[in-house]
């Protein structure tokens, strides 16, 4: 079977290079295609009546409310534009708490009395949709008698056209809320958190003389993923149903040769990437970089950063597009955090910063001392935000999938800490002691704190092991997982930052009101913030055992798995903070806690069931077949009057192994049969009983694999999946 998939893979590579590879024409000028399927600013300007255009821009840039007459005008222009491009349907696109995106398509067509049809789309249809929401998780926020949920147009994220083989659909990004207005999705809290952080950041900026009225959180997510031949994918029930391999022995060659990272990209893969990127360009996703990642068959794609809300939508579109286009090239894109044991998993590096409405990056050390002072205040606020809300941040990246990755010596540890780099750390240390006089590189700096050191733009050093690293002009939250919607960790980051900036602003405003010079007030504040929060700074090796010990001494949280991390969502302090900044209320937070816990339980259960299925219906039959073969061989030799001690030994070993395998399969099946108790209790049970039973079964299965002839092994192997490209 393994061989059948292998020849099919070989054939698909050959077919591709003979047909597709040759006939593929080069795309048109890339600048012409960028945004060609987006109802962007340019199209809006061309197609909207002036007042409607101005009102829409005011909503997008200043968050002003939008009235129905504007919505009507936008709807008409949007529909005309879409229909001209061949669209027949529109959809309200949203991100429910399940983690994927959801959509329901409606036709523009309305029958007319004379038997023909008109294309119609009104403001109220643009503003509000009513999907049959009863089967989306709501964590109890929607009782069954009021099962309705609404999708609400998000005018700040531009609509685009989804072009598929024979259909074009207008996609409208929306928020998804319950009938009582509670957030049932990932977008709503992100938008609320952006409001919150904007408000507090503006207060701080004002102190420094800025006239900015809005601040945006910006985000540039780097996506890691695997591409494997689809023939292998289809032959692996675990990949199809769990997104990761549940069995599979490590290949003789893994990633130890270190010949993959930044290596040349195989032709079929490159063609696939190029097409995916072109598709993304058309829908306005500013994809920038592509390269090979560390593991075999692992790649990365990264865009230019955008405002976090648009970036989050674009990130979902990126994942969807890669998956869709990959299929056309006979490839399957795996976005799971750990599709293959023993080789690196996939993460999403979430580059994050704040920018004012004029485009000034608030976490970029500027050119003047004045900017530097402001920068240091914002950077210190990050220390406070991340330290104070480390539990919340940790919880927003917790999932059964990410549990395989965090702390696994390839990904950041589960302990949250900040890498600042030597230089910035040094400056903060000097400030803590009184004032910063110099940067580490030398160069005297007069810093009675009225003139803080001029900071270089480049952080200089890098650290791959930190979960949260300063990279010169932004922070990179690296513990985010490959498969997740980035809206959620960014929501937490913004909220944490809103809280930190609130306290910073209050303190500075108070001091200034008392007649203190801003410089002095900043100096006092920075010293205090650094004293209180320097424990979160760690520039060393995050993979080391010493760090875990040291972090313990510093009393940093070390929440090793999802079950430990999720309760952080509902601690009294977190609930209070999230409610105070109107990001999510008590019920909304509890709902998320329940849904994510449930999701963990379901994931582990599905994986466990799949293992039992694969053990009984794939591995065991093959193993028994081989066992019989060895047995027959030994018997034949014996009947011939000779002896075969090694074959006999093999028979003994193999038989014992297969026997153990079968009893462990039954044991796993046994522990999976568990119910009752709260979701929390069940989750602990999954973690403590089911996962260890799964690990044990896998070990035995992988041991059998390496002893079993390839010709009868029923599953594509790691060697095939990772190296046949």
Structure token pair of residue 66: 């939008």
Cβ atoms < 10 Å from Cβ of 212: 17
CB 183 within 8 Å of CB 175: yes
CB 539 within 8 Å of CB 460: no
337-356 residues near Mg ion, rule: CB under 5 A: 349
Task: Choose the stretch contacting ligand ADP; rule: CB under 6 A; options: 9-17, 188-196, 296-304, 577-585.
Answer: 296-304
Minimum CB–partner distance for residue 95 and Mg ion (Å): 24
CB 248 within 8 Å of CB 615: no
Site string for ligand ADP, 328-367 (x = CB under 6 A): -----------------------xxx-------x------
Nearer to ligand ADP, 151 or 217 (CB): 217
Minimum CB–partner distance for residue 620 and ligand ADP (Å): 46
How far is Cα 368 from Cα 365, in angstroms, rounded to an integer?
9
CB 495 within 8 Å of CB 416: no
Residue nearest to Mg ion (CB): 349
219 binds ligand ADP (CB under 6 A): yes
Interface residue with ligand ADP among 99, 173, 251, 303 (CB under 6 A) is 303
Minimum CB–partner distance for residue 381 and ligand ADP (Å): 16
Minimum CB–partner distance for residue 296 and ligand ADP (Å): 22
Give DSSP secondary structure letters for 529-577.
Answer: HHHHHGGGB--S-TTSHHHHHHHHHTT--B--SHHHHGGGGG-HHHHHH
Nearer to ligand ADP, 301 or 690 (CB): 301
Q: Which residues contact 670 (CB under 8 A, 6 or more apart)?
A: none
CB 327 within 8 Å of CB 231: no
Minimum CB–partner distance for residue 302 and Mg ion (Å): 8
29-58 residues near ligand ADP, rule: CB under 6 A: none
Residue nearest to ligand ADP (CB): 220
How far is Cα 551 from Cα 546, in angstroms, rounded to an integer?
8
494 binds ligand ADP (CB under 6 A): no
**How many residues sit in the footprint of ligand ADP (CB under 6 A)?**
15
- Report the partner that residue 220 touches, choosing among ligand ADP, Mg ion, none (CB closer than 5 to 8 A by kind): ligand ADP
Q: Is residue 507 packed enough to be buried (19+ CB in 10 Å), middle (13-18) or exposed (0-12)? A: middle
423 binds ligand ADP (CB under 6 A): no
For 553, half-sphere exposure in the C-beta direction (CA atoms, 13 angstrom radius) is: 6
**How many residues sit in the footprint of Mg ion (CB under 5 A)?**
1
Distance, CA of 519 to chain centre: 40
96-125 residues near ligand ADP, rule: CB under 6 A: none
Minimum CB–partner distance for residue 647 and ligand ADP (Å): 56
459-478 residues near ligand ADP, rule: CB under 6 A: 471, 473-474
304 binds ligand ADP (CB under 6 A): yes
β-pairing verdict for 109-111 and 102-107? unpaired
For 543, half-sphere exposure in the C-beta direction (CA atoms, 13 angstrom radius) is: 8
Minimum CB–partner distance for residue 112 and ligand ADP (Å): 49
β-pairing verdict for 149-153 and 438-439? unpaired
Site string for ligand ADP, 623-652 (x = CB under 6 A): ------------------------------
Note the residues at the interface with Mg ion (CB under 5 A).
349
Instruction: Give residues in contact with ligand ADP (CB under 6 A).
Output: 218-220, 222, 302-305, 351-353, 361, 471, 473-474
């Amino acid at each position: 079977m393994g061989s059948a998939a292998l020849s099919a893979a070989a054939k698909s590579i050959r077919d591709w290079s003979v047909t597709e590879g040759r006939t593929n024409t080069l795309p048109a000028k890339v600048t012409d295609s960028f945004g060609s399927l987006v109802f962007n600013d340019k199209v809006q300007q061309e197609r909207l009546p002036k007042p409607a255009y101005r009102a829409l821009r005011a909503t997008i840039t200043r968050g002003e409310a939008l009235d129905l007459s504007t919505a009507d005008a936008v709807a008409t222009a949007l529909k005309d534009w879409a229909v001209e491009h061949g669209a027949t349907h529109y959809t309200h696109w949203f991100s429910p708490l399940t983690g994927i995106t959801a959509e329901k398509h409606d036709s523009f067509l309305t029958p007319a009395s004379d038997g023909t049809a008109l294309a119609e789309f009104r403001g109220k249809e643009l503003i509000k949709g009513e999907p049959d929401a009863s089967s989306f998780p709501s964590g109890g926020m929607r009782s069954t008698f009021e099962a309705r949920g609404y999708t609400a147009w998000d005018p700040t994220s531009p609509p685009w056209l989804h072009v598929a083989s024979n259909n074009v659909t207008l996609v409208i990004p929306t928020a998804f809320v319950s009938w009582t207005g509670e957030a049932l999705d990932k977008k709503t809290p992100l938008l609320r958190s952006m409001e919150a952080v904007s408000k507090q950041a503006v207060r701080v900026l004002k102190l420094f003389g800025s006239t900015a009225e809005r601040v945006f959180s910006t985000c540039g997510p780097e996506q890691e993923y695997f591409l494997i031949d689809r023939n292998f994918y289809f032959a692996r029930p675990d990949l199809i149903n769990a997104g990761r391999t549940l069995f599979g022995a490590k290949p003789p060659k893994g990633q130890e040769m270190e010949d993959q990272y930044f290596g040349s990209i195989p032709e079929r893969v490159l063609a696939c990437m190029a097409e995916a990127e072109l598709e993304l360009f058309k829908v306005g996703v500013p994809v920038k970089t592509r390269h090979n990642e560390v593991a075999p068959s692992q790649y990365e794609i990264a865009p230019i950063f955008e405002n976090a809300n648009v970036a989050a939508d674009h990130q979902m579109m990126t994942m969807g597009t890669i998956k869709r286009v990959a299929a056309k090239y006979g490839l399957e894109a795996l976005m799971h955090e750990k599709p293959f044991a023993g080789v690196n998993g996939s993460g999403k590096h979430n580059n994050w910063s704040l920018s004012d409405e004029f485009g000034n990056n608030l976490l970029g050390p500027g050119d003047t001392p004045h900017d530097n002072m402001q920068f240091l205040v914002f950077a210190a606020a990050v220390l406070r935000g991340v330290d104070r809300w480390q539990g919340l941040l940790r919880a927003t990246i917790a999932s059964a999938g990410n549990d395989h990755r965090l702390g696994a010596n390839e990904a950041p540890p589960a302990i949250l800490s900040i890498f600042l780099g030597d230089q910035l750390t040094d400056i903060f240390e000097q400030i803590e002691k009184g004032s910063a006089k110099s940067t580490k590189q030398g160069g005297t700096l007069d810093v009675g704190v009225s003139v803080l050191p001029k900071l270089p733009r480049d952080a200089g050093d890098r650290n791959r092991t930190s979960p949260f690293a300063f990279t010169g002009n932004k922070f990179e939250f690296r513990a985010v997982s490959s498969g997740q919607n980035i809206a959620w960790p960014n929501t937490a980051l913004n909220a944490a930052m809103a809280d930190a900036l609130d306290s910073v602003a209050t303190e500075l405003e108070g001091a200034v009101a008392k007649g203190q010079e801003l410089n002095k007030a900043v100096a006092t504040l920075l010293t205090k913030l650094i004293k209180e929060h320097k424990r979160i700074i760690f520039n060393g090796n995050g993979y080391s055992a010493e760090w875990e010990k040291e972090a313990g001494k510093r009393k940093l949280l070390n929440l090793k798995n999802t079950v430990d991390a999720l309760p952080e969502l509902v601690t009294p302090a977190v609930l209070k903070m999230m409610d105070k900044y109107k990001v999510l209320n008590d019920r909304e937070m509890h709902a998320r806690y329940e849904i994510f816990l449930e999701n963990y339980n379901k994931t582990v259960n599905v994986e466990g069931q799949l293992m039992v299925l694969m053990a009984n219906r794939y591995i065991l039959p093959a193993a028994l077949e081989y066992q019989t073969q060895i047995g027959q061989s030994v018997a034949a030799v014996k009947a011939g009057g000779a002896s075969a001690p090694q074959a006999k030994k093999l028979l003994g070993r193999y038989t014992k192994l297969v026997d153990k395998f079968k009893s462990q399969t039954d044991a796993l099946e046994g522990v999976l049969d568990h119910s009752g108790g709260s979701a929390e209790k069940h989750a602990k049970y999954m973690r403590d009983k089911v996962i260890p039973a799964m690990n044990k079964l896998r070990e035995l299965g992988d041991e059998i694999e390496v002893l079993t002839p390839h010709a009868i092994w029923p599953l594509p192997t790691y060697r095939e999946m990772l190296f046949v490209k």
